[in-house]
Structure 1
Amino acid sequence: MAQRLDYRRKVLATLLFLPLLLLVATTYTYPLLAPKILPTPSSTPTHPAKAHTSYNEFSLTLPSGDATVFTINELLNLCLNGNSLTITKHYALYGNAQEYQYLSNCNPVEISTSQAARSRGHCSDFVQYIYYADARLVPQYSTETYHQKIQECPHSFYLHGEYPIHELFLGTVDVVDGHIRSLLDLTQAPQAPPPQRVRNIWMPNWEQIRKEEGWIIRASYMIACKAHITCTAIQKYLSDAITQQRHQTSEIENERRFANSTPILQFMSHSSPDARSPDHASEQQQQQQQQLDRFNQFYHAYGHSGRKSSGAIVDCWLRQPDWPKLVVIGHDAFKAFALPVIKNGARNIQLFERVSTDKLDHLQSTHGVHLCPSRQEGYGHYINEARSHGAVVVTTHHPPMQEFVEDGVSGILVNHKGPAPEDYQLMGDYETVGVNVEWENVCNAVKRVLEMTLEARAEMGRLARLRYEEDSEIMAKNLMHLKKEAEESTDTAFDGFDFLKLLDSKFAATHRA
């Protein structure tokens, strides 16, 4: 305990001087810094942050109490509800010091995306890498900043989600006389070794890969597959000799440039922040009957998505007035479903549009059967959240949805009516991406649930939770291995407090001078 308190005193003491430290460091001490620590600022800035001569407007958030790291759920909240924060598992930074901090040190995994792209699904992806692989999430920056970054941190992995940053895929670095320099201007001595590609990792939602984005697959160092179907479909794309030949002679420069490149395909497994209350075990012992009763409560949430078969679920329930109550949560739920619900006098359907986080958590935890019959998914965080709650998961008999459960054991699979292709989907040329799910499919699956005793449903939910924990453990091991690989490239163990120590050393050096 004393060591933890001493740590927090040191951090708080450093933060007390942070405005002064940043001002001194950026104004007076550039010549004293090693070239690989901090690049010289451009004299003609192209990004608003570059115009600042001092970085003294900031706020910094630390874990509460004696903790030195945020929980995954705290990281999710910072990602979702922050204002383009820089987020590590040790602290979150906001203000005009963020870009300086991004360029001043290297994390094993670097992630850059705007706040607009930090949806619940995307944040649920990123926080796993922040927590287990010491990734750093930063705002989106200018092309110039990214070019400087890859010079300073050539051995880091650069992780991309649904919105890959093209500048990082097009950048290369080279080692010449022990120095890393950018080859973006393509100038190099004839005897120089070939350029090293930036180690970009793309973690795509397979159904969202557009046909014009095929070059990004080949430009990647690694494709991190959240689901097995992603690796399967992309392997078929990479093995397509006709497409590769077309790219070799393409009029599109990026297709030609990367036509002969092949990424590493790596199944990483994946997970979602644990939606179950930390006090669940004690609550379960105290309220055993209530825990059983929840397995006769049905729940469906679709957010803003039109691919969750929400209409099919409501149509099924309208035909079954004697079934247990169904809760439906989603954008414009009243507009979409209120009229047929009222017209049919359905008293067993309850609609919600916007609910608070606490209300959402309550509804998820008190409803033990989660209906997730998606037509298509990139991963399926709402399915995984259901597993984390120990709910009966009712989802589609099609990948990746079917990867979450074993039919009749840890969930119930919903049959479908066949393919529902969308023209823009690149992977649709190699696998069936989307399918049609009708009300009859939903009703048949729900009937299987209703035929089970509450005790049998509870056991199915327990096994779903077990599968969630097993998949989460696989993902955690893979992400820790990714961090280790980045550390081995530099022969240096990563220090998550490096930035604060760097500031502290600058402050001491300034006073010695």
Structure 2
Amino acid sequence: MKTNGRLSLFARCCNRHRILLLLACITILSVYNLSSFFFITQPKPLSKYPYHSTHPPNIRADLNIDSGVLGAYVQERFYDFLNESTYDVPLHSSLLEWNDTVDYYPETLMETNWSHELHLKESIFFVNLQHRCLIDRGVLIRSVSRSQIEMGSTVSDAMIFRNDSRLVSILKECPAIDVYVPESLRGDGYCEDGLAYLRGLNTRLMPRWVFEDSFYDPAVGKIITYFEMCPSTAVVFLNHYWDGFNKLPTWPKEKPIYLMFNAEMYEITPEHLWLSDVVLTKSLDAYRRTTKWFQQNGNPKGTVVFYTRHTTTDVTTLAAQASKIIEKDFNEVRIRHAPGGSHQKNTPAIAKCWMEDPSMPLLEIFVPPEMMRWREFARSPWNLLNHSNYKVYPTRLSAKDFGDVLTHSTFFLCPSAMEGYGHYINQARAAGGVVLTTNAPPMNELVTSSSGFLVSIERRKSDPKQLLGGAYEAPDGLKNSPGIGALVKWENICEAVSRLISDTTPKEREMMSLKVKRQYAFDTNFFLYKMRVLEAFAWDKLAKKLSKES
């Protein structure tokens, strides 16, 4: 064998050496291939930070669910339904890939009448307390239990003013969890959020001055702060409204931070999640986005994520108290829309639908006067306040007026582009309304195709300013996820209204009304049971901390 007149090195070797040389080459190639396989195909670490599970402990067996009322089978099914592990997305699956469907209201659970668990007197109490939260914005509001309400406690018993002689002794009670709701935040939505926790927990809604002031304590004969009184009580912050208290030198190092946040908020940053000991999510979509974000970006603090659902006051109970039950009319379709101060409710698209299609039923739109001047409404048909088939009422509804609208209405149109939760939709559910809303989360978690009408969307929308929106402008955002927003066109709205009119009978609409009201009651019970779990979790953490210190 010659190559350029010379024997090749391989040819000059004896057979034994040739065999050894071949074996060496095979060994080198095998090691290279195996190492390549290991480094290329094995999952890479998801984050520069370590990942610790976000799971809360499993629901305790001693959680008091009345099996005598629910039945043993329903009780066990409800335990499973309360557990976060039921809803998890696998570690290495993205939200784009994971398309399992969840039955939010399974028949096995919905056969129980959950409305029986909601006491009318208690519901009326919290409607009145919501009203006081909006008026007396600087007051500390403390929990009043169901039994205390039944015994005759009033809304005034929950209100603790700055000059109250009992203030220091009440502050020193130190529950497991307090909720920070500053005066500037006490509008409709955040008062609803705060009172939901007040109903489910033994807690206090804290105004800003409680965290800033010092108080003379006669028991110790000196001036002390709230942080010195309750150094281990967790504080629930709502969204990004922390007001820098966690950065103060007076903030106790051991004081837990709990975060209730809306996934669509632009102001939420990675630090809000990383600094929290507990994150409370109100929708399944928010729960999955949050837990997936921790999987992708690390969980160095061991933050625990709870899926709690949520609740809203039922303003129609005031009519029930006055024995003025209004029968709903399921025959004549007359639709109402009240966006409040939000530009995410697709109000211009609604008006466009009614302008384009004169066959649409009567629509009444209630909007604050200032919304008429918003730039995004300037090119919409707002100048015609009284069109042939719709009327616009430029007025700001009080809580009582809004309650009257809900009580006297049957059909509600709420095709939101996005929601943090959807208090308006939930209040319409509580009123037993037939609701038309967007077929995207969290709206379609509150209203299903069997309990209302889902408005089709053109596509999901991602925003670079939303941490959990799938297209965050900085590296630490949620990746491989659908957008949070939903694009709804006026044609989609018209199509859903047409289905309501042509595809259902009055009896079917009445059945939807009964079903959606029962679903509201179920979600409220779900939330209240999860608050028991959350409170037990907080006390357990505190007990373990004290045990270590002793």
C-alpha distance in 1, partners of 2:122/2:312? 22
Which position in structure 1 is the counterpart of 2:161?
94
* 1:358 and 2:400 matched: yes
Which position in structure 2 is the counterpart of 1:24?
none
Instruction: Check the 8 A contact 1:299/1:328 in 2, yes or no.
Output: yes
Letter in 2 for 1:228: L
C-alpha distance in 1, partners of 2:226/2:366? 42
Which position in structure 2 is the counterpart of 1:270?
310
Cα deviations by residue, 1:183-205 (Å, 9 ceiling, x for unpaired): 86xxxxxxxxxx64x22110101
C-alpha distance in 1, partners of 2:338/2:123? 31
Which position in structure 2 is the counterpart of 1:206?
263
Which position in structure 2 is the counterpart of 1:470?
522
Larger-Rg structure: 2
- Which piece of structure 1 moves more, 397-406 or 322-331? 322-331
**Structure-1-length-normalised TM-score:** 0.68
Letter in 2 for 1:271: T
Instruction: Check the 8 A contact 1:69/1:89 in 2, yes or no.
Output: no
Which position in structure 2 is the counterpart of 1:480?
532
Letter in 1 for 2:305: L
Please state how far the C-alpha of 1:228 moved relative to its aligned partner.
Answer: 0.8
Letter in 2 for 1:263: T
Which position in structure 1 is the counterpart of 2:209?
141
Counterpart of 1:232 (choices 288, 296, 309) is 288
Q: 1:152 to 1:344 in 2, by over 3 A?
A: closer
Which position in structure 1 is the counterpart of 2:112?
none
DSSP-derived class of the 1:160 partner: strand
Letter in 2 for 1:74: N
Q: 1:343 to 1:165 in 2, by over 3 A?
A: closer
Which position in structure 1 is the counterpart of 2:3?
none
DSSP-derived class of the 1:427 partner: coil
Please state how far the C-alpha of 1:344 moved relative to its aligned partner.
Answer: 9.7
Which position in structure 2 is the counterpart of 1:162?
239
Cα deviations by residue, 1:293-323 (Å, 9 ceiling, x for unpaired): 4762201111111100011111111123233
Instruction: Check the 8 A contact 1:318/1:341 in 2, yes or no.
Output: no
DSSP-derived class of the 2:317 partner: coil
DSSP-derived class of the 1:379 partner: coil
C-alpha distance in 1, partners of 2:378/2:511? 33
Please state how far the C-alpha of 1:101 moved relative to its aligned partner.
Answer: 5.6
Which position in structure 2 is the counterpart of 1:222?
278
Which position in structure 1 is the counterpart of 2:27?
none
C-alpha distance in 2, partners of 1:458/1:183? 53
Which position in structure 1 is the counterpart of 2:427?
385
- Which piece of structure 1 moves more, 158-167 or 141-150? 141-150
C-alpha distance in 2, partners of 1:320/1:209? 36
C-alpha distance in 1, partners of 2:313/2:286? 21
Q: 1:76 to 1:68 in 2, by over 3 A?
A: closer
Which position in structure 2 is the counterpart of 1:373?
415
Q: 1:294 to 1:329 in 2, by over 3 A?
A: farther
Letter in 1 for 2:409: H
Cα deviations by residue, 1:329-384 (Å, 9 ceiling, x for unpaired): 12235554898366597222121222333332222222211111100111010010
1:401-480 superposed matches below 5 A? 401-407=443-449, 409-429=450-470, 430=478, 431=481, 432-451=483-502, 452-480=504-532
Instruction: Check the 8 A contact 1:316/1:442 in 2, yes or no.
Output: yes
C-alpha distance in 2, partners of 1:445/1:143? 49
* 1:119 and 2:187 matched: yes
- Which piece of structure 1 moves more, 357-366 or 68-77? 68-77
Instruction: Check the 8 A contact 2:460/2:487 in 1, yes or no.
Output: yes
Which structure has more relative contact order (CA 8 Å, sep 6+)? It is 2
1:167-206 superposed matches below 5 A? 167-170=244-247, 196=254, 198-206=255-263
Instruction: Check the 8 A contact 2:337/2:364 in 1, yes or no.
Output: yes
Counterpart of 1:307 (choices 344, 347, 372) is 344
Instruction: Check the 8 A contact 2:309/2:527 in 1, yes or no.
Output: yes
DSSP-derived class of the 1:83 partner: coil
Please state how far the C-alpha of 1:428 moved relative to its aligned partner.
Answer: 1.3
* 1:349 and 2:386 matched: no
C-alpha distance in 2, partners of 1:396/1:476? 26
Structure 2, gaps ≥5 residues long: 1-120, 145-157, 215-223, 471-477, 544-550
**Structure-2-length-normalised TM-score:** 0.63
Which position in structure 2 is the counterpart of 1:396?
438
Instruction: Check the 8 A contact 2:123/2:314 in 1, yes or no.
Output: no
DSSP-derived class of the 2:160 partner: strand
C-alpha distance in 2, partners of 1:344/1:206? 35
Please state how far the C-alpha of 1:141 moved relative to its aligned partner.
Answer: 3.5
* 1:71 and 2:71 matched: no
DSSP-derived class of the 1:110 partner: strand
Please state how far the C-alpha of 1:280 moved relative to its aligned partner.
Answer: 4.5
Q: How many positions carry a matched residue from both structures?
A: 384
Please state how far the C-alpha of 1:237 moved relative to its aligned partner.
Answer: 1.4
C-alpha distance in 1, partners of 2:539/2:308? 19
RMSD of the alignment, in Å? 3.1
Letter in 2 for 1:440: E
Which position in structure 1 is the counterpart of 2:109?
none
Q: 1:439 to 1:69 in 2, by over 3 A?
A: closer
Which position in structure 1 is the counterpart of 2:50?
none
